[in-house]
Structure 1
Amino acid sequence: MRALLTWLKFAWHNTLRNRRRSLVTVSIVALGAAGMLLAGGFALYTYESLAEASARDSGHLVLGTPAQFDRDEDVPLQHGLSGVQQLRATLLADPAVRHVLPRVAFTGLISNGDKSTVMLAAGVDPDGEFTVKGPFLTVTAGKTLAADAAQPQVMLGADLARNLKARPGDSLTLLASTTEGAMNAVDVVVAGLFTTGVPEVDKRMVYTSIATAQQLLVTDKVSTLGVFLDRMEATEPARQRLAAQLPQLAVQTWEEQAAFYRAVRNLYNRIFGALGLIIAVIVVSVVANAMAMAIIERTREIGALRALGTLPSQLLCTLGLEGALLGGAGALLGAALALAISALLHVFPMDMPPPPGRSVGYPLLVTVDASMYAVVMSLMLLLTLTASLLVARKTVRLPVVDALAHT
């Protein structure tokens, strides 16, 4: 231990020989570490936000018949679920299950009497949909669906309402094919308007109650059941339990339902992976250049130390420690910089511009993850140590005469 401290002391004093060069090297390493940590933290925040939004929209688990997920329907709810109340009671008996929300998905036409347009509709439980899920949409006018409304109600996407010139309180008509293939219509009242931040959804989306949807489609079935758990980490264990308990049904996780989440994650993994590789190459190049210059300047000194009996392995150790010290100092400084910027983004919020396909931006925040910080700092230390050893290996093995004669 004492010998290691001695070598560390030598390495520290050697890094101070050319302070400007050492400062530049530490600064480059710090910026590289901070860049990796901020990019990784932003990616983690994006993953966490999209995961929560996806689970909130569909439920942590989604139950349906196997054909519901594998085949197209010839008529509405051809592959729907029946016996919903009994299924809900079975699911709620699981200790991790907090809520079970049925959903009826269907398409059809919506008309104001003068104009009709295609709709993508969802029949939901008004008592649970807008309380259990939280703020998954923004009500721009009117209010959410009421379970005890005297007349069937709908909520319209803001762009769809603009297309139909509809406002809260107006009467519209829903038209759809029933489960028998016949056409049916139901008169409804507009309860409210909403926006999801996705223009394509706001142009077509309609929410109504399950009772209204089943009345329109002439059925007592639902498309799927969304199962909401007490925490995200319980998703996979709960899926295994429910799949074993209900073998006649298919049980999918929120991630299997979240195509947008998977696409963003794959894209960001490639982008930030390439960014990390570029930063690593820059750091290795800078440290290798700095150590090469330092070693060239001290070649005669290395020859003198060899002449005095210093072993090549000992010289390699001290030169490697010099690079490790520079890398360690840079990694610590970069971690502190990343932490400071992450904290500032919470104090002074900034918004990202709307991504493609959306009309609203999202907050620019960075997740601080202890394991990520440990990995990045260790990586910087390892890269600088490796670069130093590779550069120093040839010089410390020069014949003593050649090293002393170096100019």
Structure 2
Amino acid sequence: MNTHRLTSFYAWLKFAWLNTLRNRRRSAVTISIAALGTAAILLAGGFALSTYTALAESSARGTGHLVVARAAQFGQDEDTPLQHGMEQVAELKAQLLADPAVRSVLPGVDFNGLISNGDKSTVMIAAGIDPDAEFAVKGPFLTLTGGQLITSDERGLVMLGEGLARSLKATPGSSLTLLVSTAEGALNALDVTVKGTFSTGVPDIDKRLVYTDLATAQKLLVTERVSRLGVFLARMDATDATQQRLQALLPGLKVRTWLDEAFFYRSVRELYNRIFGALGLIIGVIVVFVVTNAMAMAIIERTREIGTLRAMGTLPGQLVGSFALEGLVLGGLGTLVGALLALGISVALLVFPVAMPPPPGRSVGYPLIIEIAPSLYALTLIAMVSLAMLASALVARRTVHRPVVDALAHV
């Protein structure tokens, strides 16, 4: 029985294929439009996915896959620097590093204040870091534009964003003064030397950002506390499970994931989902209309043929199935060609890189990469073929159920 059904299916599929060859020009146009629509959906979706991946990696690299701090650090403003900071950092690091998924733990001190060259003062946003570990774990998260990177065994040295360095007319070797409020609310100043300048790719940040080593930051603020601990994992997909384990280990602290801190990532993803979702819907509707039009014209031309087949005993359901198979052939060939086209373009962009212009708010561009996601390809192909078959069946349904006499008399 199964063999008979399979043979019958192949026979009807061959019949549908031969019918699509009756008007090859119309079939070629339909397949071409379906192919272009499929390629557009896959390329747009692949671009969105690659953007999500890049932003996710950038966000996780900036803050750590997990961020450990006191709960007040995330939800309350500080009256004095490091009011909500953490103590006993060495013990906390040892506890965190004991988890098998944790690769590194980076302490950080965040503070604001003034920076002066003697003649001019301006507001700074500063961070005290462990430079050796920071640059080793995070990789090239900034571009050195002058001088050298600071190291963990040096004291009293800073790195300036190139916009800030330009504003203060500072170069490597220049002496500057940092003025901040200490953890006790008093004012404190410290003379430092510029060792390097850098760019983060965001001009507004480069106009304010200062990096120094952790010991210098704590000396300036007169405290041993840190603002937060950035926890870096061996794999991003281990974030949620590790977060749950560490939160249970440290009930007095708050453990948040990089996603909780990635406001820009969430905003871009929500925007792109809406834009490319609407684009995919529009393209899908266009392809359905094209297939529907092609099938409607074919059915009108073959009305008398349909009447003849009905008179010979062919059931309406068989004829509807036949036209649905024609939609399968047209939609299937179109989506297959479109998928191959999108795949070819995606691979070509890896071999021959294309640089995108800088996005709003940034000063550097980025390479155009189209992610090749098997799930996206499978979902798109299934959706496009299913819509083409459904459209063909719905168009054929009315004509197939016409009275035989009326169908035979159609001109």
What TM bracket, shorter-length normalisation? over 0.9
Match of 1:348 in 2: 352
> CA shift at 1:180, angstroms?
1.1
Q: Specify the SS of the correspondent of 2:242.
A: helix
What residue in structure 2 maps to residue 114 of structure 1? 119
1:14 is aligned to 19
Deviations 1:116-157 (A, max 9, x none): 0000000000120111100100000011112222x4110000
1:320 lines up with 2:324 in the alignment:
yes
- 1:25 and 1:253 map into 2 onto residues whose CA distance is 48
Deviation track 1:277-333 (CA, whole Å, cap 9, x = no partner) reads: 000110110000000000000001000100010000000010100011100001110
Q: Which residues in structure 2 correspond to 1:2-401 (within 5 Å)?
A: 2-149=7-154, 151-401=155-405
Deviation, 1:351, is 1.1
Indicate the SS of the match to 1:63: strand
Partner of 2:124: helix, strand, or coil?
Answer: strand
Question: Share of identical aligned residues, percent?
Answer: 67
- Deviation track 1:219-266 (CA, whole Å, cap 9, x = no partner) reads 100000000000100100000000111111111101111111111111
Give secondary structure in 1 for the equivalent of 2:223. Answer: coil
- 1:310 match: secondary structure: coil
Question: CA offsets per residue over residues 155-196 of structure 1, 9 Å max, x none?
Answer: 000000000000001111110001111100011110100000
SS of residue matched to 1:330: helix
Cα separation, 1, equivalents of 2:132 and 2:203: 26
Gapped regions of structure 1 (runs ≥ 5): none
CA distance in 2, matches of 1:248, 1:104: 20
Query: C-alpha separation between the residues in 1 aligned to 2:370 and 2:350?
Result: 9
- Which amino acid in the other structure matches residue 316 of structure 1? V
TM superposition score normalised by structure 1:
0.99
| Post-superposition offset of 1:111 | 0.5
Q: 1:343: Cα distance to partner?
A: 1.0
**Secondary structure of residue in 1 paired with 2:183:** coil
Q: Secondary structure at the match of 2:85?
A: coil
Give the Cα–Cα distance (whole angstroms) in 2 for the partners of residues 131 and 284 of structure 1.
52
- Aligned mates of 1:185, 1:135 — CA distance in 2: 31
Counterpart-to-counterpart distance in 2, 1:175 and 1:314: 84
Amino acid at match of 2:375: S
Structure 2 stretches lacking a partner, 5+ long:
1-5
CA distance in 1, matches of 2:14, 2:267: 50
CA–CA distance in 2 between the matches of 1:72 and 1:148? 32
Equivalent-residue separation in structure 2 for 1:27 and 1:386 (angstroms): 19
Q: Which amino acid aligns with 2:116?
A: S
Aligned partner of residue 178 in structure 2, secondary structure: strand
Structure-1 separation of matches of 2:136 and 2:303: 73
Deviation above 3 Å: which 4+ runs of structure 1?
none
How far apart in 1 are the matches of 2:267 and 2:106?
26
Match of 2:100, SS state, is coil
The residue identity in structure 2 corresponding to 1:384 is A
- Secondary structure, counterpart of 1:180 in structure 2: coil
Distance in structure 2 (CA, Å) of the matches to 1:148 and 1:129: 13
Letter in 2 for 1:69: F
Alpha-carbon distance in structure 1 between the residues aligned to 2:276 and 2:131: 41
Q: 3-state SS of the aligned residue for 2:230?
A: strand
CA drift of 1:348 comes to 1.2
Q: Is the partner of 1:208 in helix, strand or coil? A: strand
Q: Tell me the equivalent position of 1:406.
A: 410
CA RMSD of aligned residues (A): 0.6
CA distance in 2, matches of 1:287, 1:103: 59
Tell me the distance in 1 between the aligned counterparts of 2:359 and 2:401.
Answer: 56
Paired with 2:211 and 2:387, the residues of 1 have a C-alpha distance of 55
Q: How many residues get paired?
A: 406
Secondary structure in structure 1 of the residue aligned to 2:402: coil
Letter of the aligned partner of 1:241 in structure 2?
Answer: R
For residues 383 and 318 of structure 2, the distance between their equivalents in structure 1, rounded to whole angstroms, comes to 24
The code of the aligned residue for 1:68 comes to Q
